[in-house]
Structure 1
Amino acid sequence: MSSRLSLRLSRLLNMVPYLLAHPGISAAEAAAELGVTTKQLMSDLNQLWMCGLPGYGPGDLIDLSFSEESIEVTFSAGIERPLQLTSTEATALLVALRSIVEMPGMVDPTAAHAAIAKIESAIASSDAVVTGKPVDVPVEQPVVATVRAALADTRAVRLVYYSASRDEVSERIVDPIRVVLVDNNSYLQAWCRQAEGVRLFRFDRIEDATELDEPARPPSHAAADAAALDLFQDDPDVPLARLRIRADYAWVLDQYPMHRIQSRPDGSIEAGMRFATADWMARLLLGFGTGVSVLGPPELVTAVRDRAEAALAAYAAAGLPGETEPA
């Protein structure tokens, strides 16, 4: 399921209990509370109107009376009732909670462990495996707690952040949007005022965070930008390497954030890849030997050639055969 569909599903599941608790609320008020536009809310209501229990006859579907002036749920199809979990479902939920609680910023660890304890207590008499051993609730790092609080308060944050690709620490002010999980790492998704774009900040690389006394104001399009969840989005501010990849090295396109530009008659592939520093990129490319050649930019070609020649000289000085050729 795409991230956009997943967000919409979560919103639809939360809408019925919310609307039941606020009968007659206007579309504008509900949209502001749910963090969407009025147009998106009306689209969600039309979608929700066609949801319900298996059978999907008129008596099984959620029924709503809605306009931009007033929204009311006339039949909830039982969606607001508490879930009755089977032991298998409860065990799966425990596994998920235990996994996510280890990810900084994803949940409040105290609340998550309280939920784990309640679920374990509820299924203690079933076949589910419950250790019964006391669990020490991990102390949330101050930086993580600050970011989560700023997100809840919709406040801007000043971050001191280590960028691994650039190998540098920078300070920037961001407008938090949400916390996301990508490739088993948790990130703050935020509008970076310095870069003027949506960026992902990995929690374990945030060295310091300060909640500012000013509201977060990410552009309206920022939260809906699904491409912003891509760790290697095509940022025009980052240099682009043009590469020629030998046919038998085509696998690197699947292993690295490269995009295909064109295929050549000899079977080789021309591709592009963004990089932060020429030094880092040169080290990466030399690892491919003659399988990947650099076409540009000139400063990267020079960096790769200089490193390759230095390596060949070191081999020669040691009386060893050199296996690396200049690009």
Structure 2
Amino acid sequence: MSGADTASARLERLLHVLPAASREGGASLAVLADELGTTPARILDDLTEVGERVYYHPGGWPDDIQILVEADRVQVVHAGGLDRPVKLSPRETLCLALALRGAAAASHLPPHDERNELLRRAEEHLAAFTESRLHEAFAAPDVADDPGQVRGELIAAARERRACAILYVKAGARDAEARVIHPYTVVYAQGAWYAVGWCRVSEGVRVFRDDRVVEACRTDETFETPDDFRVEDYVADGAVYRAPDEERVRVRYSARIARWIREHARYRGWEICELEDGDVVAEHTVADPGWVVAHTLTYGAEAEVIAPASYRRLVREAVRGLAG
């Protein structure tokens, strides 16, 4: 295992060290370091980080974690809520079972006893659910509630290549606008359904989230999907991308979370600027104002939208709403 000092590597080490050190008598620092391919000093640094994080946020565990470090051993005296892993949800259990079966089917290696035992336990857990509970937990998204039949109307319009008249509420708007769209396709991404198609009002291809569509009704007008239309230009990697609406938003992050932001920036492609006080400023290309609000509030007081002013206002209004 790599000893690289990144947040993900540190978490991986801690997920090995804490359970091992929770056993009676604790664990040898030298043995742990050898198992993880790192040094005892780095493990001690990881444990120091855990101790500091106990007081990092008031919403943490009610009981403090207690760690005893001796000359060559470490022992978790009180786990403070870390005494066992979180139980998998039914969906997570199903995903695990499918992955294990898929790995076995795609591999030419002989069966692995530990993998087979894990698969048996996962499927045994799923077998305990009633049929109605399974349907509720694993029903496909397209059979989810659609009380206004909006989604059904949009899907039918896309299949029949018929224009659709809709009442649509844009993000941040209070009133619905009447539009006529040519829904080229209806896709599921980021936990919601979206219609992707030509908008007569905007005179371009736009993306419409179905739960923002108040009403939808097919018309007699027909359309043809352009040959150069590619749904991948609007939905990629499970995320919705709306190029015509995108804006550049600058967010400042405190030095306390700067390392985490730098790591994110490397694989998400964020442009960052280092400040003298240790803070960092990242520039995000976004199309959904709601993403900026949710992202900023995730970090609480450690993140602040710098520009544009309209996005600062959205975050401020969201905070006021939470405060009541």
Higher helix share: 2
TM-score by length of 2: 0.42
TM-score by length of 1: 0.41
